[in-house]
Amino acid sequence: MFESAELGHKIDKETFKAEEPKLRTALLDAQEQLRENGSFPVIILISGVDGSGKGETINTLYEWMDPRYMSTRTFSAPTPEERARPSMWRFWRALPKKGRIGIAAGSWYSWPLAERIAGELSRSDFDQRMDELNRFEEMLVNEGALVLKFWIHLSKDAQRERLKSIEANPLTRWRVTKESWDRLKTYDKLQEVAGHLLRTTNTPWAPWIIVEGTDDRYRSLTVGKTILDALQKRLADQREQTSPVAPRFAPRFDSLDVLSALDMTQSLVKKDYETELATWQGRLAQLMRHPEFKKRALILAFEGSDAAGKGGAIRRVMSAMDARQYQIIPIAAPTEEERAQPYLWRFWRHMPRLGRATIFDRTWYGRVLVERVEGFCSQADWLRAYSEINDFEHDLWRAGGIVVKFWLQITDDEQLRRFEERAQVEHKRYKITEEDWRNREKAEVYHTAVCDMIDRTSTGTAPWTIVESNDKYFARIKILRTICERLEKELKIDLTKEPRLIITREAKAGAAKDSTVREAQEPMVKEARESKEAPESTATEAPMAKGDHAKPSKAQLAKDLRAEKARLAKEAKTDKASEKGGPNK
């Protein structure tokens, strides 16, 4: 794949001086149109071998374009903070918003590439990772992003000469490190792995552009013109965004589905509910504090019919957790900032680190529910969302996340009763809106959307739990029990088999000694209490008593207590010594 990048491409000074001003002007014009258009972001990946001029290329782009509407992120080995989250979390947070240009020096390819070269990643795992990155880039393109990927190449000899040249210059010597020369030794391995990477990730929606890096002028003009051509072509394309869509849904010949098959009569009496609530909340509290949980993260996703009791269920769950350990994220209509990013961006930013939990009140499933039903997105958008969401949840699970999803279902009659109750109760009126009443008219459409959602996104790593919620007591207990059982399964623990506290002989002896001391103290404490509670006349006469008839003072009582403690401790020590000595000593 690198043959055309080893031909010795060069551009003379005169040609460069003639072409540069025209290119700069055209790039600035295109960038201004992009900013005004504001309908898509540009994501530029600059990768390649050491010393190939990646940094100089980025600096040149900043000189030629308006840096106020550009951003650059460098991605190397993940930090401890980043390691505690899903691997793609740091890249999602760095995505540019619509109308802006984001440059990645290094990218989501850098770390898998380094691990594969070091032998820390098998070929099959590497291929699986590349497949996941292909789907990620496809999602970005389907969301409207223009993705440009550059690989700046040098031959082995050219890289060696380049490093020597940089190291010989006092102004650039700092850029060449011991690691740079070490990586030169693994050049052949890099070419093998990089060639495989470029071949497997060279997709129609995000192809690689391989640029020879020997000549600075050639490299800069090639990258600049490629960006300009792609940007102008995309700005001129006024067609609606289209993308591969999911296959059609299977036709339904009867009324049986995952919702209509539910037994909505299930309930719990209050006494049983209170017992079960205490049991499962205590169990959840133990699981959240278990040492194994520090290696995982918990993501709870709550969806359901209006007035199905999501808020009440969430409160019962959070009551069992340490407030420092979780956060609750309520999801409403996206803000302007969120609209300027790919759809899943606003959810990625709230993913918990290991040992923590995030509770979502409404979730990323809004795209295949309310946005689908209300027409807030195109059919292509919500059809491809199923596979994108499955990839998203699989990424979370692979990084240690435990995704537990609930759909709370109630009947139409029960929903109407709750709506009317909310309208009458002062402190519940805020929960009911005109939109809630209007959504009842679309109950059938929402029913179909929910069934499609469950059918297409209930996976082995993130299954749906449908909760019969006509009875709130039953629903809350089912949710708590499901969370606990899922945690025990993922953490591979069983609290019923956890080792209990073992009381040693020494502990038993200590407890017996404490009991003896308490028994000896009781009469004296009782006497002191009686002395304190005696009537004033007795207290007045006490100082006049003589000899043995005088009552002891508080100081004397305290002294006697200390003496008794010392005596008992000495006896216990003597008994213990005699036990160790045995009958013959």
pLDDT at 12: 92
pLDDT in tens, 449-508: 999 899 889 988 899 999 999 999 999 999 999 999 999 999 999 877 765 433 334 444
CA–CA distance, 515 with 518 (Å, rounded to integer): 5
pLDDT over 90 (residue 290): yes
Other beta carbons less than 10 A from residue 373's beta carbon: 16
Contact of 173 with 167, CB cutoff 8 Å = yes
pLDDT in tens, 141-163: 999 999 999 999 888 787 788 77
* pLDDT classification of 368: cutoffs 50, 70, 90: very high
> For the purposes of burial, counting CB atoms within 10 Å of the CB of 24, is it exposed (0-12), middle (13-18) or buried (19 or more)?
middle
pLDDT at 546: 41
- The 8-class DSSP code of residue 298 comes to E
Residue, of 16 and 498, whose pLDDT is higher? 16
pLDDT in tens, 316-365: 999 999 999 999 999 999 999 999 999 999 999 999 999 999 999 999 99
CA–CA distance, 187 with 182 (Å, rounded to integer): 9
Provide the whole-model pTM.
0.69
pLDDT over 80 (residue 509): no
CA–CA distance, 347 with 339 (Å, rounded to integer): 12
Task: Flag the least confident range among 36-45, 414-423, 450-459, 500-509.
Answer: 500-509
User: Positive or negative CA dihedral for 135, 136, 141, 147?
Assistant: negative
Contact of 352 with 369, CB cutoff 8 Å = no
pLDDT at 154: 84
pLDDT at 549: 44
- Mean pLDDT, the chain, integer: 84
In degrees to the nearest 10, what's the CA dihedral of 255, 258, 264, 270? 180
